[in-house]
Amino acid sequence: MDELIVALDELIKSPPPLVTFEQVREWLADVEAGRWSWVRNTRCKYVDMKFDTRRGAYALRDRDGHPITHEQLRWQYGREQEQCPAHPGHRCQVDTSMESGPNNCFHCEGKM
């Protein structure tokens, strides 16, 4: 019982960052449409959500149980990259076979 009280006290002292319902809906739409992939953010392959209906928000935790922000949830490896010259409309993609060398694009073989 004492451990529960201590845990609740800690949660009150430092609540996890909250994400609004709308932000979660936007993220889920991106997941469904294929614009967000866990492959480009493995930290968020598994996400625990806790509703706070009073404030209309979620508290999110990553696969390791650490609190995460909306920005950390939405982040995608390589999102800041330019479009791939050999694959118009898409970004460069890491060649996991490493045929063109480590950290090269699968399509254009450029360095990433």
Q: What is the DSSP string of 27-74?
A: HHHHHHHTSS-GGG-GGGSS-EEEEETTTTEEEEE-TTS-EE-HHHHH
Q: Is the pLDDT of residue 7 over 80?
A: no
pLDDT tens figures, 24-68: 899 999 999 888 888 888 888 899 988 777 777 788 888 888 888
Phi and psi, residue 34, nearest 5°: 85, 10
The pTM (predicted TM-score) of the whole model is 0.55
- pLDDT score, position 11: 54
- pLDDT score, position 29: 93
Q: CB within 8 A of 29, min separation 6: which ones? A: none
- Token pair in block for residue 39: 């492959």
Beta bridge partner(s), residue 83:
91
- pLDDT score, position 1: 63
